[in-house]
Structure 1
Amino acid sequence: MLFSLAPLWLFSLLSASATPVTAPAQAPAKLPPLAWSANRPLTWDDFKARPNTDRLEALTSSTIDAKVGCVDYQFSAQVKAVFTPSESWVRNAARATPALLRHEQLHFDLTELHARLLRQKFSLLKLDCEHLQPAFGNITKAAFLAWQREEARYDQESNHGLNTARQQAWEQQVQQRLVQTQAFALQ
């Protein structure tokens, strides 16, 4: 038995323009996702999609990929934070600021933080393999909702990275929380 849940959340930095979001003219080739790594931060080269709006300077597409299964009635879960290059973009990498890249990186760091929190939750629960649903669905739904809310709060409070003081506060807070949840990081 194998279940997978990986909703996609898109996060971005707004520019001064207010043009509505439109569909991309041409979809980029599907590239493999990048797993989060403390040793490998994002670079603008990772953002492979083409911009699809005038309102945004960059867009990060990341998700929590959660797969669970049962072997001999033993529950196991694999949870990882992934970045999707073929759905992430920067308007002009040559002119993009380091601050903008830090803002986008923190979206990915928040994804990793919430992946760790989900790993922690799975490690504490004793899920019954015969009755995995609805427990698995309820747990992941709550985890993804908490992640989505925090991502939205991050963009709101930091004004999409434009409020430097709030951006720095978020960076410090998320780094502290990543340290606090290090026991649930992938090895």
Structure 2
Amino acid sequence: MNKIFYIFLLTLMTTAASAQAQVVNTKAFIEWNPFYSLKWDDFQGKPGEDAAGDAGTSVAIQAKPYMVGKKVQYDVHVLFNKEKSWSRDQSPQLLAHEQLHFDLAEVFARRIRKKIQELEEQNVNEVKAYNKAIQALLEESNEADRQYDMETLHGALDKKQEMWRTKIKEELQQLSAYKKSKRVITAG
């Protein structure tokens, strides 16, 4: 139940073309979506020598900036890394616990998207302001993740696990306006 949590905040891309050049190895990652639940087959990594617990989940919140004209924009993704996620036990309860780590990351991705929208509405166009706000939410995400493991004893406390499942599900619903959407950028 040891959890690995990676967060990336990439440097500003100066053109849309350079942003497109950053391709993710899709075989190694699963992007969060509401229609996919993790399976034990997705945990393809091996635990390190110092790894404790029955499973380790590697999740990344990726905020990729790019420019549209002179306006800063961000793509925010939540990625599960198959090659760095591992398990020693394969119980349904443990898998449900690991899925909630992935879902909790999506909660924070939505909070980031919401914050980005708020900054846009305030006509903020300084990369430093966006990065500072995003970094604060990423730190909050790491703390919430640690708290989730601590309060549920890594999923061993059924009542606490159910409380967190309900909490995360409710927050995903409350933030549904900020779920990832497809965008089409046209040359103009």
Shorter-chain TM-score: what band? Answer: 0.7 to 0.9
Report if aligned partners of 1:64, 1:81 keep a CA contact under 8 Å in 2.
yes
The equivalent of 2:114 in structure 1 is 120
The Cα offsets for residues 36-93 of structure 1, whole Å up to 9 and x where unpaired, read as 011011000100101224621100000101011222112211001110001000114x
> Which protein has the bigger helix share?
2
| Residue 50 in structure 1 maps to residue 52 in structure 2 | no
Question: The residue matched to 2:54 in structure 1 has which SS?
Answer: strand
**In structure 2, C-alpha distance between the alignment counterparts of 1:149 and 1:55, rounded to whole Å:** 19
* Larger deviation, residues 68-77 vs 148-157: 68-77
| Residue 69 in structure 1 maps to residue 71 in structure 2 | no
The equivalent of 1:105 in structure 2 is 99
Amino acid at match of 1:108: F
The equivalent of 1:36 in structure 2 is 32
The percentage of aligned residue pairs carrying the same residue is 31
TM-aligned CA deviation for residue 136 of structure 1:
2.4
Q: Which runs of 5+ in 1 are unaligned?
A: 8-28
Residue in structure 2 matching 1:149, options 111, 133, 143 = 143
| Residue 6 in structure 1 maps to residue 8 in structure 2 | yes
The Cα offsets for residues 95-137 of structure 1, whole Å up to 9 and x where unpaired, read as x2110000000000000010000001001113644x322x122
TM-score, normalised via structure 1 length: 0.78
**In structure 2, C-alpha distance between the alignment counterparts of 1:117 and 1:146, rounded to whole Å:** 10
**In structure 2, C-alpha distance between the alignment counterparts of 1:158 and 1:38, rounded to whole Å:** 23
**In structure 1, C-alpha distance between the alignment counterparts of 2:68 and 2:170, rounded to whole Å:** 36
**In structure 2, C-alpha distance between the alignment counterparts of 1:63 and 1:177, rounded to whole Å:** 19
The equivalent of 2:21 in structure 1 is none
Report if aligned partners of 1:117, 1:181 keep a CA contact under 8 Å in 2.
yes
TM-score, normalised via structure 2 length: 0.78
Report if aligned partners of 2:61, 2:76 keep a CA contact under 8 Å in 1.
yes
Report if aligned partners of 1:47, 1:85 keep a CA contact under 8 Å in 2.
yes
* Larger deviation, residues 82-91 vs 48-57: 48-57
Q: CA RMSD in A?
A: 1.9
Q: Which runs of 5+ in 2 are unaligned?
A: 1-6, 10-24, 182-188
